[in-house]
Amino acid sequence: MSEQGKKLIFSGIQPTGTFTLGNYIGAISNWKTLQDEYNCIYSVVDMHAITVKQDPAKLRSNTLDAYALLLACGIDLDKSIVFIQSHVKTHAELSWVLSCTTQFGELTRMTQFKDKSAKHSDDVNAGLFTYPVLMAADILAYNADLVPVGADQKQHLELARNVAQRFNQRYGEFFTLPEPYIAEVGAKIMSLQEPTKKMSKSDENPNSCILILDDKDTIIRKFKRAVTDSEAEICYRDGKDGINNLMTIYSMVTGKNFDEITKEFAGRGYGDFKLTVGEAVAEHLRPVQEEFARIRADKQYLKECYTSNAEKALKMSQRVLSKVYRKIGFVDAR
């Protein structure tokens, strides 16, 4: 709980290329809504990104893009703190402490580790393995109450809760056990090409994934190619993964519910539906793209934002870390 009695939210996003429509719907749009009710802290997690090989120049520019994109998506620095993870050293420091209360066995059960180590079999580094500990540190460094994420992060959050609980048992009640905030609709936006798989920027097929900086023609082309089914009915039903996904996306960008969408498209074909979804998404993203271009061009403004916000985050997390150090028996440095 934060000082003003409001609950505290923490979440993060990796700067590994432009955000996808999945990131936008599953996470960032909730981050934006939650700002009014909670004290929110959001981070561009560049330290997580280096668990897979990155080109240094690209990582630097992707990190600035990600920061500017969050602002362009409506994260408001008058309401929220937004910082770059590597600017706030307490995350790495707390991560080390927490790694000593995390069990090897529980890390081996992380499905994301299994997936990523299979995909990057030439570089199964220790960071990839201990990634969830750093994620726990991100959250616990602020004693966050709530963590808004997509469904794919649920297991990592459970681990963060277990690590916090174990620490509390060993050293006395201290960490808040963070709750996941996973929206009912949109928590898992699926690939447009294989709608049983989540939409991911690392997918090799570029048609599977909408990037939020894609231009209108590209967005419409990708939706036109979206894989659906052999029926002709636009309704939300088990087994209609492709249509369910398109309905979810359309619902999230227009605010219409599934019944309204079914009525709107009664008697109309899939081609028509896909085109309408594509146009609606492009229209929804247009102001975000314009705002991004404006903010990203102003390097001085961006720098002021990320430096002042990192200072705020450092101050808050330093208070937590100092208490942790005292609890575990480290000698005070001052």
Nearest to 131 by CA among 165, 87, 91: 91
Q: Could you tell me the smallest distance in angstroms from the CB atom of residue 112 to ligand TYM?
A: 8
Q: Work out whether 152 is an interface residue with ligand TYM (CB under 6 A).
A: yes
Size of the site for ligand TYM (CB under 6 A): 25
Which of the stretches 21-29, 53-61, 117-125, 303-311 binds ligand TYM when contact is defined by CB under 6 A?
21-29
Is the separation of the CB atoms in 8 and 44 below 8 Å?
Answer: no
Q: What angle do CA 243, 247, 250 make, to 5 degrees?
A: 135
Say whether 114 is catalytic.
no
Work out how close the CB of 266 gets to ligand TYM at its nearest, in angstroms, rounded to a whole number.
Answer: 28
User: Does residue 14 touch ligand TYM according to CB under 6 A?
Assistant: yes
**Residue 147 in the binding site for ligand TYM (CB under 6 A):** yes
Structure token digits, residue 233: 């009915």
Among the candidate windows 135-143, 253-261, 283-291, 302-310, which touches ligand TYM by CB under 6 A?
135-143
Least CB distance to ligand TYM at residue 208 (A) = 10
Residue 135 is a binding residue for ligand TYM (CB under 6 A): yes
Q: Round to whole Å and give the CA distance between 45 and 12.
A: 6
Torsions phi, psi of 8, nearest 5?
-110, 135
CB atoms within 10 A of CB 331: 6
Closest CA to 110 of 152, 48, 147: 152
Q: How far is the CB of 220 from ligand TYM (least distance, A)?
A: 20
* Cα 103 to Cα 30, 58, 200, distances in angstroms: 32, 34, 29
Please provide the distance, in angstroms rounded to a whole number, between the alpha carbons at the two ends of the chain.
27
Interface residue with ligand TYM among 18, 35, 90, 153 (CB under 6 A) is 153
DSSP H or E segment with residue 180: strand 179-181
The SS3 of residue 173 is coil
Catalytic residue chosen out of the listed positions 32, 188, 198, 274 = 198
Alpha-carbon distances, residue 324 vs 170, 313, 327 (angstroms): 12, 17, 5
Contacting residue, 34, 40, 44, 45, with ligand TYM by CB under 6 A: 45
For position 194 contacting ligand TYM by CB under 6 A, the verdict is no
Is 256 known to be catalytic? no
Nearer to ligand TYM, 13 or 288 (CB): 13
Which residues are identified as catalytic? 116, 198, 201
Site residues (vs ligand TYM, CB under 6 A): 10-14, 22-23, 26-27, 45, 48, 135, 138-139, 147, 149-150, 152-153, 156, 187-189, 198-199
